[in-house]
Chain A
Amino acid sequence: EAGVAQSPRYKIIEKRQSVAFWCNPISGHATLYWYQQILGQGPKLLIQFQNNGVVDDSQLPKDRFSAERLKGVDSTLKIQPAKLEDSAVYLCASSSGLANTGELFFGEGSRLTVL
């Protein structure tokens, strides 16, 4: 079974530029998550989707970050304009259900460096 796919693996941009990350979850998984992991810290939830609806985006900096999950499958996370403090690994995860007792399957992440 294919795992969670993310691209690009690495991206270097200058501040104020824009960037987009793509995620393809495990087939059939209804719930999709985007996490931000800054070096030396644990993953911080940015947004959680159930199918194509948003369950939780309370920690998403909505003035610069946006995410969508059209058709309830793939998802895109966009940052515009980027700031230095956005340098981090952006992890996408998926799970079969909404409950927090289920396993989250993570992709390898997209490492963003903002100069």
Chain B
Amino acid sequence: TQLLEQSPQFLSIQEGENLTVYCNSSSVFSSLQWYRQEPGEGPVLLVTVVTGGEVKKLKRLTFQFGDARKDSSLHITAAQPGDTGLYLCAGGFGSYQLTFGKGTKLSVIP
């Protein structure tokens, strides 16, 4: 089983601040997905990246896939209380395996 490390584990910030969370592995990903999970619900897909160096933007969220496809980051600009949740990265290995990290729990304080 491949291991993904996410950091930080917990993050509490004020509304309007910027933040970055990270996802790292010693293995090369074939793909990388980011999900957000709210309490009492299942994770919801935010983005999928497959090409090393790829950058995708989703409104105030910017996702980057490392050149070597071993790491990824999620940057949120001007965080809002609605961004609160558990952010999970999921690394693809081979053609069908998908392994989740432990997540970063984000709290945005109004």
Query: A-side interface residues toward B, CB under 8 Å?
Result: 4, 35, 40-45, 48, 55-56, 58-59, 91, 93, 98-101, 103-104, 106-109
What residues of B have a CB within 8 angstroms of the CB of A55 in the complex? 96
Contact: A59 with B1, CB < 8 Å?
yes
Contact: B43 with A106, CB < 8 Å?
yes
Q: How far is the CB of A47 from chain B (nearest CB, A)?
A: 13
Q: Known pairs A103-B45, A106-B42. 15 more at Cβ < 8 A?
A: A35-B100, A42-B4, A55-B96, A93-B42, A98-B95, A100-B30, A100-B33, A100-B95, A101-B50, A101-B92, A103-B48, A104-B33, A104-B98, A107-B42, A109-B42
Q: Complex formed: what's the CA distance from A56 to B95 in Å?
A: 12
Q: How far is the CB of B106 from chain A (nearest CB, A)?
A: 14
Contact: A45 with B98, CB < 8 Å?
yes
Q: Complex formed: what's the CA distance from A114 to B66 in Å?
A: 41
Residue B88 lies at the interface, judged by CB distance under 8 Å to chain A:
yes
What residues of B have a CB within 8 angstroms of the CB of A107 in the complex? 42
CB within 8 Å for A41 and B103 given contacts A48-B96, A55-B96, A100-B96:
yes
Q: Complex formed: what's the CA distance from A109 to B96 in Å?
A: 22
